[in-house]
Amino acid sequence: MSKEVENYMYLYEKIENEDYQKRVKNSFEYYINSATFYKRLGMILSILGIVLPALAAIFTACDVNKGLIVFATSAATVASGIFASLKCSDKQEAYRKAAENMKRELVAYAAEQGDYKKADDKNAILFERIESIIQNGYDRIVELDKESERTASTFKK
């Protein structure tokens, strides 16, 4: 479990319905872990896209084995292509936004602020809003995946 998930555990522990508490916890963990994954993957691919061409230039200047130059430039091209195709930055942002929206809603629920202040059934409001956040996050990721598929099919032609 990530440190961020642990730090916010107290929020979803305040949810009265145990089944829904588990749903929120699992969804929150999923969004945090996915955002972290795409952030790290994007960083690695970006670094490779910068370092490998520089390395190829150094290899060329030093008259190093042509195979190493070809490998470095090819690997840089592949890393950049994967980064663009997977839409790492966009996916990281979408997952992070969903997690932040969930945190915001859980804080309002726990503090009984806004619509939760005088609600007859604050659990129903939370359920509706969290499910909306989850659906919006899912819709955004599906949209990004479709964009990736369109990009990939363009290269196949």
Q: How far apart are CA 67 and CA 71, in angstroms?
A: 6
Mean pLDDT of the chain: 90
Distance CA 125, CA 131 (A): 10
The set of residues, in sequence order, having a beta carbon less than 8 Å from that of 16 and lying 6+ positions away, is 123
Q: Which of 150, 156, 109 is nearest to 128 (CA)?
A: 109
Confidence check: pLDDT of 143 > 70: yes
Model confidence pTM above 0.75: yes
Q: pLDDT tens digits for 63-111?
A: 888 888 999 999 999 998 888 888 999 999 999 999 999 999 999 999 9
Rounded to whole angstroms, how far apart are CA atoms 146 and 95?
16
Nearest CA-CA partner of 129 in 156, 107, 155, 154: 107
Place of tokens 């939760």: 116
What is the Cα–Cα distance from 156 to 148, expressed in whole angstroms?
Answer: 13
pLDDT at 76: 92
